Structure 1
Amino acid sequence: MRVPDASAPDRVTVLLVDDRPENLLALEAILQGLGHRLLRAGSGEEALKHLLVEEVSLILLDVQMPGMDGFETAEHIKGREKTRDIPIVFLTALEAGGHQAFRGYAAGAVDYLAKPFDPWVLRAKVGVLVELHEERRALQRERDHLRRRAQQEAQEALALLRRAEDAAAGAPLEVADRLRVPLAELREHLLARRP
């Protein structure tokens, strides 16, 4: 697992959400050596506001918070197209029994850790989940690039076809008649394959 350069401008952001400042401080102390940018939120509402403007790679989310609890916050996060793919790890002082853990997973969490948790386990999980999320983002950027390239190539092919059709229209009648059907078929084929 690679450790990101803390001075790199493109380092990833991990959103820490907990209503207790001492818990946020403890999370920062545990994660500081990973080189990620750590962003704090003291409530579910504040977390959602951050997610409107920040690009986040992982969310560590407390379950028990006044107002909007962690489960509700996760449902809002997973309900937004921009944020639905961000992995969420629930952290809770509640008994991590089957019902609470199931509720966490049902809300979209990728993991559920009961406090007190082993700091080394949390660091390892954060490292792996951030790396997986960043690899997924890189694949999405590559897909988007390939899609744009295919669209550009399709537009160029259609432009060439238009020029061929124009040239065929100016050709002698016998040549134009022989080219009309193949050019029409080529146009249909290109239009059908356009991304």
Structure 2
Amino acid sequence: MGIFVLLFAVLIIAGLIWLLLRKKNVPDLPGSSLDDVGPSGVILVKGDEYLVEQKNRYAGGGEESFELKLTGDEDVTFWLNWYRDGGLIVTITQEVDFDELELTSADLDMFDSQQIGEFDFDGVVYHLSASGESQLYENCQSNGEPFYYWDFGDEEHKHVINIQYWDRNTYEASIGGYIQESDIEIYSMTEDS
């Protein structure tokens, strides 16, 4: 009987140690949100860990949105974008060469003037969801840089493509998809947290 009590006590102690060690790997930032995350923060998106390199703010047309520049495995860069529209709307994208989209500036001008347009890329049909002028406030600084944008999404609201035209006569594009707020875990907001 004494051996069973001793064995039971050892099992309880081992279980407590396991719980304490396991807790160190679980984020413990109650009440934190993406709005609080800054450079050197660490977040998980669908279980993949990313280091926050930069936080930017966008403003235009009375709307405001934010993005985090993320570095993932093998130093691959991703962009986590979000805004509030009755709830939190979040996308994660990765840069793609604009020429791969096989769109021309004339296509984009037509989409913009008609406020409608669609194109096929990689077997997905993308529809224009918004276009207009905006300002990028890099690192959330007070001076913004103007640009023009076109946002596209598929009918299932899974896939997105964002295109930006800058004064320096360049187009930038990114492709990705919508994610749920529940897919995001905040491990640290900055290097100090």
Identify whether the pair has TM-score above 0.5, normalized to the shorter chain. no
Structure 1 or 2: more helix by fraction: 1
Task: Pick the structure with greater CA Rg.
Answer: 1
Greater relative contact order (Cα < 8 A, sep 6+): 2
TM-score between both structures, scaled by the size of structure 1: 0.25
Structure 1 or 2: more strand by fraction: 2
